[in-house]
Chain A
């Protein structure tokens, strides 16, 4: 992965910013504590050592070298961090727990820092840091009083360690941020790549989903659902334009041929040739207009233009009106309509559109519900129309005992212009069920075709109010 791109990711920037703020705060706090403690300790050390030296110098003035030597020998016995040494003018050890004096120590007057060896046990010694003041007594004697500051040294070492620890943490933080960003970036890159592919026309491509159920996954799933919908619409559109080309061109062509044939007959030898041709042309035009209207209705329904016309209505009178409208024609076709509904069933619907949907289903039942093998031939073929309330949904069912639709075609017949072989001979434009499906969809309902064993059962499912 190219580094610059990584540097621009939000995660990486955030982690860097966080690390900088956090690191700076920690370093500043540590530094402050270290510096303050140091100053305080040195001052304290200075003061105690100074006081002790003055005390010892006083003893020398009053009692001479012997008294001083004894006091120092006594104090050296006490355990602790104090360092003492008294030498003669040649640097010879007279008393004190510091065994020898280095050149550096000998040359300096006043404050000095030095390292010395101290016995830890009988045969091992270690080098330790110390701070001391040297003082020249009269007659060439030297007095050195100091304190072991190895502990303070250790403190500074701890601070240094903590600092390195912090640096290490920063490094880990940075690499963590880098890793997270890289992971995120690679996922975003995959999403971008997928959308590029889709934009290039591969509509069936989908955005990868990791399965981690995180926010990116949820976004991807949502985008994929949207793509499904878009793909469906696009496929619908493609199919429709193909079908329109076929199903509208055919009658147009037929119309044209008929007019041409009539015109070829110059003398009008056949008696009514013009009249018949014109009448047939009007019939063809009417068929085309009906097809065109149905197509437009479907398109408008799918564009969501019905939203404003949905009202709270009772389904029962709507269905009853349609049943009453169709009953005579059903009987005319030698069938019987049995209606089963009661009470009131309130839904959000457009009476006109829903009425049309039910009418279309009844039209179909009349057309296809009669032929086919009936078990009891004496019984009149029936069309069933019913409303049921189930699970917060209203089910409007139109069923017949006709030949039905083969299982494999149940989905397909809802598509525009699809007409099954068996129905080719009957009038129709193959849009009836598509229109029903579009109407039901615009009502946020569900439309299903099922095997009625035998026959077809169409169900419109609408959410109850």
Chain B
């Protein structure tokens, strides 16, 4: 996918474009708000990665301008300001996700890929299926190989989120944010334990594991055995 990185720090933007290319994406970089805005207007990008503080035009006003012009390309905001208040402001300006510096590349990549696959409301599926695992969103029912699996409400939402982005890496922070709606960083591996409980319900009695741990990044639901 095509990604535009608008970041004034040359080293950071070089690192990001290089890493994104290595991950199989097409990445370009702009180093100030003005040229970034022009590129975002004209180009056809799947995701914009926008630093909050930029020379010439600041990140938030850049996003607001794009949104006012009906450019709906998903935006991931990068910011050194990480307080609740800053996050709210960023999302209100039209950002789709917010990542606080310093971040790990795997976190950024996972978020960019999920954003690019952003599902429009009209495309919302009522049923997710991966291999023999299905999740029926109307009936709130999960089955594997025809067998009904009973899940706690939170386990259901966890699985729902993972299956929505099946085949993509989802980080622990993303799960905490999207399934629990908390933005802090727990000192204990709370998410891992929830995942292992979920795994014991959907994978334990079956031959092919579907819920995979991606080392150093997060989790992924996929039928590929890699």
Residues in chain A near residue B185, CB distance under 8 A = 290, 293
Residues in chain A near residue B184, CB distance under 8 A = 352, 355-356, 359
Interface contact B154-A329, CB-CB below 8 Å: no
CB-CB nearest in chain A for B152 = A324
Residues in chain B near residue A163, CB distance under 8 A = none
CB-CB nearest in chain B for A353 = B84
Q: Which listed residue, B102, B187, B194, touches A360 by the CB 8 Å rule? A: B187
Which secondary structure characterizes the binding site on chain A?
helix
Q: In the bound complex, how far is the Cα of B185 from the Cα of A297, in angstroms?
A: 12
Q: In the bound complex, how far is the Cα of B189 from the Cα of A367, in angstroms?
A: 12
Q: In the bound complex, how far is the Cα of B86 from the Cα of A300, in angstroms?
A: 12
Residues in chain B near residue A400, CB distance under 8 A = none
Interface contact B188-A352, CB-CB below 8 Å: no
Q: In the bound complex, how far is the Cα of B186 from the Cα of A451, in angstroms?
A: 25
Q: Is B68 interfacial (CB 8 A cutoff)?
A: no
Q: Is A344 interfacial (CB 8 A cutoff)?
A: no
Residues in chain A near residue B100, CB distance under 8 A = 293
Residues in chain B near residue A293, CB distance under 8 A = 82, 100, 185
Residues in chain A near residue B183, CB distance under 8 A = 352
Interface contact A325-B182, CB-CB below 8 Å: yes
For chain B, residues 172 to 225, give those with C-beta under 8 angstroms from any C-beta of chain A: 176, 180, 182-190, 192-194, 197
For chain A, residues 286 to 300, give those with C-beta under 8 angstroms from any C-beta of chain B: 286, 289-290, 293, 296-297, 300
Q: Which listed residue, B88, B188, B197, touches A309 by the CB 8 Å rule? A: B88
For chain B, residues 7 to 62, give those with C-beta under 8 angstroms from any C-beta of chain A: none
Q: Is B123 interfacial (CB 8 A cutoff)?
A: no
Interface contact A289-B102, CB-CB below 8 Å: yes
Q: In the bound complex, how far is the Cα of B188 from the Cα of A366, in angstroms?
A: 9
Q: Which listed residue, A300, A308, A352, A363, touches B187 by the CB 8 Å rule? A: A363
Residues in chain B near residue A322, CB distance under 8 A = 182
CB-CB nearest in chain B for A296 = B82
Residues in chain A near residue B88, CB distance under 8 A = 309
Interface contact A306-B193, CB-CB below 8 Å: no
Interface contact B83-A300, CB-CB below 8 Å: yes
Indicate whether A306 sits within 8 Å of B102 (C-beta atoms), given known contacts A355-B182, A359-B186: no
Q: Which of B88, B183, B186 has the most CB of A within 10 A?
A: B186
Residues in chain B near residue A148, CB distance under 8 A = none
CB-CB nearest in chain B for A324 = B154
Interface contact A309-B84, CB-CB below 8 Å: yes
Q: In the bound complex, how far is the Cα of B189 from the Cα of A366, in angstroms?
A: 11
> Beyond the given A329-B193, A352-B183, A363-B187, could you list 16 further A-B residue pairs with CB under 8 A, ordered by the A residue number?
A282-B104, A286-B104, A290-B185, A293-B82, A305-B85, A309-B85, A324-B154, A325-B182, A325-B186, A326-B190, A329-B192, A352-B182, A356-B182, A367-B188, A427-B187, A432-B187
A-B pairs, 3 with minimum CB distance? A356-B184, A328-B193, A363-B187
Question: Interface on A for B, CB 8 Å cutoff?
Answer: 282, 285-286, 289-290, 293, 296-297, 300, 305-306, 308-309, 321-322, 324-326, 328-329, 332, 350, 352-353, 355-356, 359-360, 362-363, 366-367, 427-428, 432
Q: List 28 A-B contacts (CB under 8 A).
A: A290-B185, A293-B185, A296-B82, A297-B82, A306-B83, A306-B84, A308-B85, A309-B88, A321-B180, A321-B182, A322-B182, A324-B154, A325-B186, A326-B188, A328-B193, A329-B188, A332-B193, A352-B184, A353-B84, A355-B182, A355-B184, A359-B182, A359-B186, A360-B187, A362-B188, A363-B187, A367-B187, A367-B188
